[in-house]
Every structure is written in structure tokens, then in C-alpha cells.
Copies of this chain bind each other. A is one copy, B any other.
Amino acid sequence: MPAQIIDGSALASTFRERIRARVQALIGRGGTVRLDAVIVESGDNAAKVYAENQAKTCNTLGIEYKLHRIKSLPDHPVTFDDIAGRVLLLSSDDTVSAIMMHLPLPEGVDTYKVQRLIAAEKDVEGVNPANIGNIVYGRSSLAPCTALAVIKMIEHVVAPGENGLGSAAAAAPMLRGKTAVCVGAGDVVGKPIAVLLMRHDATVISCNKYTPDLASVTRRADILVAAAGVAGLVTAEMVKPGAIVIDVGVNRVKGADGKNHTLGDVAFEGVSKVAGHLSPVPGGVGPMTVAMLLNNVVEAAERRQTTGR
């Protein structure tokens, strides 16, 4: 029997509906929901387009969107201090509940140093290290969006009733007795995913490019997450029949037709004959990641309303 496809676009759409309802409820209780985004503008760049689309999406969900522009001019280039100051200002502003920083930052500015200045409870991208630490320690937390997308997609399969109920860290463990394997141990995606899987009480195996006999490890996986950044790395014979397979890979590969294609880390056609559930690329983790940012925005606003901070 072929795998059921986990449709990330459809699931993201469901989440957006829930987010819209939560925003309305929050406004009904006298609250506000706003995303404050910071962007460094230096001529044309992709972030600008992304920010415009983000503004539109927020608008359709009832979320206010405020874009803070920092201009970088050839003879007055923006420095770390300029950006850090702006982030600190937003972090300490009581009217701000959700902050994101558009990338890339100008050359020479340490992105990590900027991100750790975002107040943890407003850090809707989950990039402040305190947020991943809070997940390790089992505290309610804003998880990194890609890792959260993966967890929500697994949840959609194994515990569909739970979707959208609270944060990744606070959710009830759903993977007891299951073996979850994450192929790829990068700092931004692989390691945070492994931590979130531990949070859900799975037996977690974190693999990297040095793992010997990878196939013998992945074949143990009830849940298999491919986050290695290698097109087609996970093939059918590496997958346990019936496993849930989530493909995080986004690889641009030139095809025989000379055009660029986006391929995942999973060899889709073969694996779809073995896996029980499989997320495609594109249309899987990608759209869910975008939705998770907005999920974190409404969650941060809800939490502020509850705690009064």
C-alpha cells in the first residue's frame, strides 16, 4: 500500500484557520496581536519581498504587522550596534509581543549575537538559545519554526486531536515507546528536532555524516526525519515499512532538462512505496514552517495576555 502523503500546504491552511480564530478570540478579550519585524534595507533584496508577503499574510489573519526598517547606505553602512539597539528597544517595549529579524544581516554582523538579544518570550522564530534550552528543560517555549513544523506534522499523524494545542515544549508526550531517527545534526534544524523528539519521550537517534551503516540505523525508525541537506539520501531500503517519514531537505538540483528543481532528502518515489506516511518536497515542511512562525506570534500574544507580561 502506498504511503499516505502528509500535505503540508493543507495542514498549514488548517493551522492558519486556527490562528485566525485565536487572534479573533484574543482581540475579543481586549488583547492585540502584532508582529514586529526588523529588516536591514540595502537596495533590492529578497528579504523585502518576503516581508511584503508576510505583511499580507498577517493581514488576512488579523495580525498587525509593523516593519522596522534600518537603512544601510554605501557611505553609512549599518553596524552591529545599530541593529542590536533596535532589537533591545523592541525587546524591552511592553507593547511588543512578537519580534522577528529578517536575514541576511550585513557582512560582519554576527547574526547569532543579534538573535540572542531578542527577548525569549517574544522570539517567535525560536532563535534565542534560551528557547531551545527551555525545551530541553521542559518549559513552555517558542520552538524554532522548522523543528516545530516537523513535530506538528508528526502529531498530525500520531495524535491528530492535539494539533495546535499549545507549544511544542508543553504538549503531552506522544512518542513513548517509539524510535525516532533524525538524519542530519545541524545546529539550526537537526539538533533542535532531536531535542523536541526527546521532549515527546521518543527513543531518539541523532545521525550525522559520520554515522556508520546509516541504513541499519534508519531502518529502526518508527519516525524518520531527513534533515541532512543531501538530495535523495534516504532511499526505500533505508525505511522501515509503515514508518512516518518527514522530509526537511530543500536541495536545488539541476535536472536533465537543464532546469533547477527542488528536491528533498528523501527519494520520494521509492520511499512512498514503503513508508506509512510521507511528507513531500515541495509542499511539506516548507509551508508548515511559515505557518509555525504565525502560530508562535499568536502564542506569544496569548501568553502575554495570560501572564500580564
Contact = CB atoms under 8 A, between A and B. Distances in A.
A206 B208 contact: no
Contact of A129 (B139, B204, B207, B208): B139
A192 B136 contact: yes
A216 to B, nearest CB: 9
Contacts of A194: 194, 198, 204, 206
A27 to B, nearest CB: 30
In the complex, which range does the number of interface residues on chain A fall in? 35 or more
A138 B191 CA distance: 10
A131 interface: yes
A134 B129 CA distance: 5
Contacts of A185: 198, 201
Number of copies: 2
Contact of A210 (B138, B176, B188, B205): B176
A177 B137 contact: no
The prevalent SS among residues of A at the interface is mixed
Contacts of A120: 130
A5 interface: no
Contacts of A203: 205-208, 210-212, 217
A133 B139 contact: no
A138 B186 CA distance: 10
A128 interface: yes
A199 B159 CA distance: 31
A109 interface: no
A177 B209 CA distance: 8
A281 interface: no
Given A128-B133, A205-B205, 11 more contacts: A128-B130, A129-B134, A130-B133, A132-B137, A133-B133, A136-B191, A137-B187, A137-B188, A176-B210, A191-B198, A203-B211
10 contacts: A128-B130, A129-B137, A132-B133, A132-B136, A132-B137, A133-B136, A138-B187, A179-B211, A195-B195, A203-B206
Q: What 3 A-B pairs come out closest when comparing CB atoms?
A: A129-B133, A133-B133, A132-B133
